[in-house]
Structures are given as structure tokens and as C-alpha cells.
Structure 1
């Protein structure tokens, strides 16, 4: 079916997109399991598990109902699978035979159990559970729905006593006294054993091939509340002795034992450029404790830094060892794409798969290698990477949606910034594009700022193109994908060269695409992109409409109200509140409101703790008092993730407000 015979995309199509994640190969390499997430009729999401043979074109659905069934993990013999499901009300662990049958509930922990992993002998499962100091893992009882409701009501009547710096976080909300501990379940005796007890959060990284050690990450320092470091620890299960692998100066994760049990590989960094620091790939020798950095001569981001609005669910980014402990596989982010790389223990890397798209996850064992891939006109599917480097498509989860809807293929462009730096971007032509016609234009600015737009599916971009706009999205300095100097270049210069990069992008598009109407330019962005939208309309009147989403308008107050403000402000702007309040005010778009003549829509979530709603509120009140053209849309119960994982109806409503505003003024 041709592009022109298909209909234009709508905001409601968001509910039709099937998002796949977390591929897991069966130990014998014959089949794989994955998670599929879709919107349901209750204005929420359902995640189901599927199993598919690598010889088959059709996946078999394993779980049903409206629950979120995620994190499938095969037992070492491939006969069983443990997974996480909230079908009973909170996330618990369930066990099912791979040849079918009813799933058995393993845990009834009051606050749930998550992220299960098998011991190499298949006799134990180690998982994470939020526990209070006095909790007994052998006496955990799940609350009924009525009991949970009553407990929530009682809690809402009590004041929150705060004595920690890290007392809240976006998505999770206000913290309590529970800490994530590691727990072991013995399948033979059906008993539980708590493995960690320190009053901090523990994250299971891996279980050693001998089954006698586990690798976890945590900050066990007394000053943990004031630090952002995260270390790796080895826990000897027979003796309960804990050994620190890292040095207390960095942030480490994605850690894995080598199959021979001699080494640990992980991603990490030591904050050389604060939050703009590229990940490194480290190898630790367990016997000697010696650390080797394999990536010290590389200049690209390890892992997946691609930004989009439809990916849900975690997927493997690496590093993952090969069977003989000589190589590692990992994802890397470069020039608007993510690819699969391989490296040996001398640091020599090579490309395993690269096709200018978004590899969002992978699974490998034996001769089988499964990739999760998305591109601008494909929300995501799984593919087998064959020995000859060819890919074979395994799933086709959005066939019906893609057969029905026209999507715009982006044109990649590269232009020169004012100081000669090369900046990459993409341009979408509008639905039903006709040569000779003039079209309104929208500039999209990503958040982060240390993230990357690129060759992945982005519903919001496609929707704006479907509504008749030329859409431009770029990676100005500060973005990932172009090396350490580039990603660090916006720090202490917000609204400086990052702003002129974006204006140069607009100039380039206007000069090179004669179908853009110069008098109908719009701009939008979220988070840092919201800050930049505010900054843009405070420094130029060339745009006729703007939509600022989950924005920052006042760095003076952001410092104290954001869950990250107390460190992010200093790290990104170079100054803290007490050091130089004038500098923070100079960086604040609120200072420039008298210059703002562009009609501005402010979109914000009430429960956003990353960029709290007072940021949007201050901007609205100031502009309204100045009698400027401004409107404020507040989304109840929505956090900073509104556009990505918010309630489906809220996400659609948000898109309708954005398109309404641009239709009104462009």
C-alpha cells in the first residue's frame, strides 16, 4: 500500500501502538520470550509475555488479562520461567512451565517483589523487595485491595516528616522508610532468606557462575544521602562477607560476571564532566581487584541514549560476555543512531550491527542473536542477526497499524553552527506534501539536555507532520552522539551556543527548503527543551507560536524544589544558589518575560517532581500579569514522564492541546 493511499496519523493512534521490549533467549537458543505493552480500555497499560521459536513467524501469547506481566527469565534448563506480575494488586513473582499450564505465585510480599534472576543451578531465585528495617521475609503477607485502600487513606491523613535530602523523586513521589533489599528464594524448601540489610537501596547486578557470590550495586557510605555515587559489591553467600569492587568515586552499573567467573564487566564513570560524562567500559579482575578501562580511547556514549515517546520497558544495553569470556557485546550511541558493538579484552572494538536506526535491546547465546530495532517509520520489532550479518525479521507486531497509517520518512541534514561546529538534524515533510505549496514549520527541542534525537519512531513528531507541519528536530551541543567535548559544551552556557545552534538550524531549513512558510514558525520542547523554548521566545520574536512542556523557568527556585535541583543546578550552570544567585537569575527565562511576544502554551504535570509545576506557574502568572498571550494546561496526577508513560488519555489530551495551539496561531 502506498504512502498516499494511507490516512494521516492521529493522536488517538497512540493507543494502537504495540511496544515490545526485554527479549530473552531460551538457554538452548531455540526460542525467545519478550514483553509486549499496549494501552488498555481502563486508561492504563497492559504488558503481556510472548514466546516465539526462532524458526517460527508467529509468537505465542503466554499471559492474559489486564496485568503488567514483565521481566521474563528462563531457568538454566529452559523448563521454567519466572516473571513479575501485578495481577494480584502489587508486583509479585510468578513461576510457569515453558510447556504451558497455570502460573504459580511465588511471593506474597506486602510491598511487592521485583526483578527476579535464577541461580546457575536453577535451585534458587534472587530478587529485590522494598522492606522496612523490622520486616521478616518469612512472614510477608500481601494486603487485600481493601486493606491497601485503607492503609493509603490512613497515610494521607498523616504529616510527612522529612529529614533527608533525597526525600522525593519523580515518578516514585515522596519516599518512605522502605529500602530495596535483596532476597533469595529456595525452590526446594520454598523458603526466603534476606541477603542485604543496610539502610540503603540495593540493586542486583548478577549472580556468579559458581552460584556462591552475587554482584550488587549500592551506596553503603554513611554520607549516602549527600552523594550520587553508586558502587559495585561482591557478596559471598556462604559467609555473607561483602567486598567493595569499586572505589567510591563513581557511578557503576550494568555489571556482569564473565562465564569463567574470573572477571566483572560494567559501565560507569567518575563524574569528570558531572552528568555530561560519557560512560566507560571497565573490567575488574576478581582475584587481584585490578581495574582496566577498555574504552579510554573511545569517544562515543556506551548504552542507549536515544530519546523517543513510545518505548516502554527495559531492554539489554550490555555489556554482555560471550561464552568463552573473551569478548563483550554492548550498545553504543553515535550520530543519531544506536548500534551493536563487540570488544575484546584489549579494547579493540568492532561493529556487529549498524544500520542507521535504533537498536533498543538485544539477547544472545550460542549462535543466536536477537535484536530489538526501531526506526522512524517502525515502532519496533525483533530480528535475528545471522552469521553472515543479515537480519531476519521475527515479529511484526504493528502490521495492522502500519498498513493503515502514513508515516513521514525523515531527511537527515547537517549544518554548520556559528562557530563552525557540525550539527545534525532531521526534517519531516507534512502528510500529503505537494511541491509548490508553503507549509508552517515547527522546531522540536529535546530534553536532557544530555540525550539524543535520532533514527527512531517518535509519535509526536509524526503527528505534527500528519497535521500539515514541516517538523525539524536537531541535536544541538549538549546532546549525546557526538563525543565528550560536544556533550559537555552546553554546561555553564545554557541559552548560549546551544541557543544559537538551534537558530542556525532554523536558518538552514529556511534557506534550503523553499516549501517552508517563513511567517509561520512554531517551537516546542519538554524539560530542558521546555527551558529552551522559554529562552527562545524571550530572545527572539521570529516564532508565531510556542508550546513549553514540563519546563524550567526559574533556576533560583528550581534549585530547591526539583528532586535533582540541589546538584543539577551547580553541575549544569556552574553556580549554586548560595554562590551566585544573580547568575541563576541571568540563566532564568523568567527574567526575560517582558520580551516575550510569542503566544505561549504552558503544559505541565501536577505531580512533576523533576521540573515541578511551580516552574510553569511562575511563568504563566508573570506573563498573564503582563497581559501577554498565554495559556496554562495542568495535568492532574501526571509526572515528568507524562508524554512517554503517562495515562494514555492524558497523553492524547496533551497532544490535542499542542496541535490546537499551533493550529490557532500558525
Structure 2
């Protein structure tokens, strides 16, 4: 088992994680001992929603090439402007001398470890590229454009920077208006003539992402790709600086583009012809050039008919020859491909069976985990000397920065603990992992969060939480919302039903052409039954909630059972046919079922919750962001109207300032929890109190 060390901080609650069930038993013994001996001056409090206003996140660490310093993002809630503010912090590689460096994003070290390139706002509020000398703080603004630079990458000699920025589309269809001089007319409308014309969290697609190169000392950026297609991912320089590699699908007509197709491409930093390295059709990305410049690793999937496409790792020679398979049959998509300095090995992160570990791969096709343990451990950067950094989370450990030397059974060193002050004196809910059998001999992995003051002689409300995707995975990372509900007295159960990733392609494709359906529903009910068997549950106070794909399955659950007292379906898809033409992922939406609904709509209708609304009796709350382009508000509106007409208790809450999801804004996280808790309490009985303190204080949302 991997051991964990701390730097200058008190012992962590997650030190008990190797035996979570034991930790829970120990916690109960502590409660009994305290009660008997009267030893505690003040009982610890559970995690409350107001703690969210002081929450912090540490993420995206980058270690300097010489291995001496680490820069990382530290985000905190500005409770007065209702937003997350991200600042870059810097510390020594041993975790000492942490301090704020600059407000900005996407920092990248220069090859000689003396400078940082990053993106920040200029005096006019436009995102620009800056370079800062780390030792003396001297900073230069490098770009002055009106479109934001992103995905920065230094040239190997440190003299240039490559970045990606949007190039505006030219109007393709116009008319001539007899507009009087100086007239203030209504702006021209957008003329839409492409299938994918908008993006969630952005709005209308106004241009194409292309590659630029600029001197690191400032100057005019040179655009080196163009056309009606997007550069995908972060560009990668060849070690000799002669070319920049990236992913994309070069087409002359955007409607001719296949969203499942992209290739590994290369172009000179001076511009010119773009050459294609990959030969096999598929959706390829994440190119990584070996230290000797001779081999390119990349990942992606071959286009197949099924909804879930297994990701593989491939390699190709720098001249485009010897394109070959390296790794296949993985439980999930490998992430964060990074070469070892010897050029013979590479590293990646793999999320499987609820955990995320770092793996070491070889070009001959072998791979093995470098880390182990009950955690989610990601890799973000490796120094020239082989020291790696990333971030880690566990059931009772918030996300923080770590450092380790990449070797088998590596011993990671925790460098930050940004929420230690908030969690001091807070008792978190214990987390138990379980596996349960379901229909068709399926095995389902899940977890139960128990209130910190759990007493087996009492009966507790149960909340079933369902993840989105549907091809995604719940894991053992820290989940603030679930801990908040545990603090409100709920037992929370969450699981990975069939369709989830992390268990291989057969498990993920078990719902192919049949989602939502019997299989995923059976698995969720098996997880619910497992929680009832393991905990003291009041079966008259059971509730279900989920967002996105979880909202779909929440709606499907109340269609197929009335065992839950109330439900909250957040950002759901309710009608697969109307969804296909209104979501920002139109091509994905049009391939949910086979055949097309033009030819045979049976499957499209059978798996659309709207067609079964007459079977719902469970009070159902609906919530969707007003800006949501992924599962548009109209989807929730369809279900709301159907339930309302049929006399089923329901409310619709369009969440202001939210795209896909309901909790990105700090205040909306609180609203999401409080609205659901209030809904559940109003539609059940047996509660010991009238509701959580503050549930009605400052409440928003007038009845309509």
C-alpha cells in the first residue's frame, strides 16, 4: 500500500482511509466514549453548506524543468461577487515557502526554469499572454489581441511561444441594406449554416481555433494554421524546434467534417503546408514527442458503431511511418500521457474501478501501476530529473497538490492542504465501499456516505445520487455535496451502473442503443438495496437525484418505481428526438440510437422519459441552467409541463447564470443543496426538525 506523508501540517483524517469500515467503527466508539466520560468540551460539527463560501481548490501544478519550484492554481470563492477567483501560487519543490505569485491561468515554465508564461487580463479586461521572470518579478505583456490565447507551449530553446486562439469566421451569407449614415439599427442576425454552431459555456461559435507563434520577448503573433476547422489540444514542439504537432481534422467544408475524426498533424513554426502523421481513421489526439524526437505517442479511438468507443494508445515515427498500436483493452481512457526522460517508457493516469492511479507504459505494450491506494491521483507534469507533480483526492481528503518520484510503489509527498482551516473541528461522514450483484450477473461497485453522528438505533433518510455521462465514473475522490447531505442527516449512496467507464468496454457498452433502460435501472436499485441492508434506513424517506445523464436516470427511475418519496432531476434529457436538434453536440445526439428516428423512431421514443410521463407519481423537482446548451432548459420544461398537467407534484427551477449543471456559481451550489433538501422534506414525514438552519433565510425564487 502506498504511504502518504505530510509537510509541516497536522495529521489528516484520510490517514484512516486504508480501513474505512474500521474508521467508522472507531468513530462510533469515540462517540460512545465521549458520551460516557463527558470528555468533549464541544462536539465537532458536520460539513455545512456555509463552509462552501470559504472553500478552496488547489490544482494544475507545474514543476520547473530543474525540479526546484512548483507553480499551481489556487481558487477560492469570492462570496461578495459570487464567483471563483483563481490565482497562481508558487512554492519550493518540498512544499516550503508557498506564496501567491499572480492572478491568471495556464502557467508554463520556460525550458531554463527562469520564466513563466501565463494568461491574464490586461487593463481593458482582455485575456492576453504574459511572461514573468520568476526571480525578480519583471513581467512583459506579449500579446495585445482581442481573442484570448490558450494552451501555451514554449519552444525548446525558450525563444518562442506557441498558443491557440480563435480566428473569427467571415460571414458566409449577407445582404445589402439601405442603411442611412449614422443610423442606429438593430444588429444583423447570425446566419447559421453549420451543424455545430454553438458550445456550452461559450455560446455561439464565432470562429475557429488556430495555432499561433510569437517571440517570447513580444512581437506580432504569426498565425500558422487556417481553415474552417479547429486545432485540438495543446500544441507540442519537436525537440529541435523544427515543427509543432497538434490534432485536428483539416476540411474545406465544416459540414463535411466527421466529429469522430481527427489526426495528428505537424507544421513548421514559420507556417506553410501541414502534414499528417497518422494513417488509420479515428479520433486521435494528445500527441507527445519522445525526448529524442523520433517517436510520437498519441491516444484516441477508432470510429465504431457503438456509443462507447474504447480508447487506445498508439505510436508513429516522426516521419509518419510505422504507425502502430501500443496499448489496448484498457479499463478506461488513459489521460496525461508524458514521456520518461529515457524515451523508453511513458506515464499516464488511468481511472478504473473507482480509483485513479499513475501507470508506467512501454512501447512493447506492457503497463503497470506506479501508485496504489484508495484515491484519485492525477499526473500533470514531470521535471527533467523525473520528479512528478499532480493532485490527489480521497473520500475524506479534499483535492491537494502532491509530488513523487516515478517508480513502482512510489511514495507521494503531500505539499498543500488548502482546506485544513475549514475542516478543523469538522466531522466528515464516513465512506464505505461495496460491490453488489445485479441482473444478468452484473457486479456493481458503489459507496455509502454515512452521517458523522450515525447511530444504528435510529432510521435515516437515504439519497441515491446518479452520475452523468452516461459514460463516466464515480470514484473515491472527495465529494463536497455528498458530505453536505451527510451533514444534513442523509445516508448517501452512489454507484457505477452499467454504462459507466472504468470497467472495460463491455460494461460501458452494456447500455448501447438502450439508454436509459432496464440494465442501468436494475443496477441502481441493487445499490439502493445494498445501502438499506448495510445501514439503518427509513424506507419512507428515500430520495433520488442526478444531473445530466444522472438527470436522465432520475427521470427513468421515477417512471419505473414509486419507492422514492421525492426526486430531483437536474439538467436532464427528456426527449431524445427534440434533444438531437437543440443540443450543442448535435452529431453525438443524432447517434444515440440506431436506426435514425427518420427511419424508425421506436427506440428513440421508448427510451425518452417524456413518452412515459403518465407512469410518474413521485413528486419531482426539475432544475436546469438557463444558459444550458448541452441539455437545454426546454428538456426540463417538457417534463415539467407533462407532470403538471397530470397533477403530479413538481416544480421547475431555471438556475440563473448557469450553463450545463446547476452549481458552478458558488451561491448556486448552496441553492442546489437547499432546494433539493427542502423538496425532499416537504414530500416526506418523520423528520426530527423543521429543516436545516438557514434553509429559508435569504431564499430566492418567487412562485410563478
TM-score of the alignment, normalized to the shorter chain, above 0.5: yes
> Partner of 1:268 in structure 2?
300
Counterparts in 2 of 1:576 and 1:406: CA distance versus 1, 3 Å: farther
Q: 1:100/1:566 Cα in 2 relative to 1: closer, same or farther (>3 Å)? A: same
Counterpart contact for 1:575–1:584, Cα < 8 Å: no
SS of corresponding position for 2:66: coil
* Residue from 92, 102, 119 that aligns with 1:53: 92
In the other structure, the counterpart of 1:314 is: none
SS state at 2:667 partner: helix
From the superposition, tell whether residues 223 and 415 of structure 1 become closer, same or farther in structure 2 (CA, over 3 Å): farther
Q: 2:399 aligns with which of 377, 380, 389?
A: 380
Separation in structure 2 between the aligned mates of residue 381 and residue 165 of structure 1, nearest angstrom:
40
Provide the C-alpha distance between the structure 1 equivalents of 2:465 and 2:305, rounded to a whole number of angstroms: 26
The 5-angstrom pairing of residues 525-564 of structure 1 reads 525-564=546-585
SS of residue paired to 1:182: strand
Q: Distance in 2 between matches of 1:63 and 1:274?
A: 46
Q: Residues 249-288 of structure 1: matches in 2 within 5 Å?
A: 249-272=281-304, 274-288=306-320
Structure 1 runs of 4+ aligned residues shifted over 4 Å read 1-4
Which of 532, 543, 547 lines up with 1:522 in the alignment? Answer: 543
Distance 2:645 2:562 in 1: 19
Q: Retained in 1: the 8 A contact 2:142–2:216?
A: no
| TM-fit CA distance, 1:96 | 0.7
Q: Matches of 2:578 and 2:654 in 1, distance apart? A: 19
More displaced 10-residue stretch of structure 1: 228-237 or 529-538: 228-237
1:410 partnered with 2:431 = yes
Contact persistence 1:206–1:215 (CA under 8 A): yes
Cα distance, 1:519 vs structure 2: 1.7
Correspondence list, 1:283-322, <5 A: 283-296=315-328, 298-303=329-334, 317-322=335-340
**Residue among 624, 634, 651 paired with 1:604:** 624
Determine if contact 1:205/1:253 at 8 Å carries over to the other structure.
no
What SS does the aligned partner of 1:299 have?
coil
SS of match in other structure, 1:573: coil
Equivalent residue for 2:365? 347
Looking at structure 1, the residues matched to 154 and 192 of structure 2 have their Cα atoms a distance apart, in angstroms, of 37
Aligned residue number for residue 183 of structure 1:
212
Q: Structure 2 matches for 1:257-656, cutoff 5 A? A: 257-272=289-304, 274-296=306-328, 298-303=329-334, 317-365=335-383, 366-386=385-405, 389-494=410-515, 495-510=517-532, 512-570=533-591, 572-643=592-663, 646-656=664-674
Q: Unmatched 5+ residue regions in structure 2?
A: 1-10, 14-26, 32-42, 172-183, 685-704
What is the Cα deviation at residue 402 of structure 1? 1.9
Q: Say if 2:141 is the partner of 1:105.
A: yes
TM-score (norm. length: structure 1): 0.90
3-state SS of 1:318 partner: strand
How far residue 276 of structure 1 moved from its aligned partner, in angstroms, is 1.2
**Quick check: 1:560–1:566 contact (8 Å CA) kept in 2?**
no
Equivalent residue for 1:208? 238
Q: CA contact under 8 A between 1:23 and 1:361: conserved in structure 2?
A: no
In the alignment, is residue 6 of structure 1 matched against residue 44 of structure 2?
A: yes
SS of 2:429's equivalent in the other structure is coil
- Structure 2 counterpart SS, 1:396: coil
Q: How many residues matched?
A: 625
RMSD (CA atoms): 2.1
Structure number with greater Rg is 2
What is the alpha-carbon distance in structure 2 between the residues aligned to residue 187 and residue 549 of structure 1?
46
**Residue deviations 1:299-342 (CA, integer Å, cap 9, x gap):** 31133xxxxxxxxxxxxx42100112100000001100110000
Q: Shift of the alpha carbon at 1:133?
A: 6.0
* Corresponding residue for residue 266 of structure 2: 234
For residues 122-141 of structure 1, the aligned pairs below 5 Å read 122-132=158-168
Q: Deviations over 1:573-627 (max 9, x none)?
A: 3343212223211111112212111111001111111111111001111111111
Can you give the 5+ residue segments of structure 1 that lack an aligned partner in the other structure?
136-153, 304-316
Is the alpha carbon distance of 1:100 and 1:375 closer, same or farther for their aligned partners in structure 2, counting shifts above 3 Å? farther
Contact 1:215 1:233 in 2 (8 A): yes
2:75 maps to what in 1?
37
Maintained 8 Å contact 1:273/1:488: no
Q: Distance in 2 between matches of 1:469 and 1:58?
A: 40
Q: How far apart are the structure 1 equivalents of 2:419 and 2:138? A: 28
Offset, 1:248: 6.7
**Any idea what SS the aligned residue of 1:432 has?**
coil
Deviation at 1:189, TM superposition (A): 6.7
Superposition deviation, residue 457 in structure 1: 1.2
* CA separation of 1:230 and 1:194: change in aligned 2, threshold 3 A: same
Question: What's the CA shift for 1:224?
Answer: 3.9
Write the distance in 1 (CA, Å) between the matches of 2:454 and 2:185. 56
- How many Å apart are 1:249 and its aligned residue? 2.4
Are 2:111 and 1:76 aligned?
yes
Which residue in 2 is equivalent to 1:118?
Answer: 154
Structure 1 position 632, deviation (Å)? 0.7
Distance in 2 separating the partners of 1:275 and 1:567: 9
**Partners of 1:100 and 1:640 in 2: how far apart?**
42
1:92/1:114 contact within 8 Å kept: no
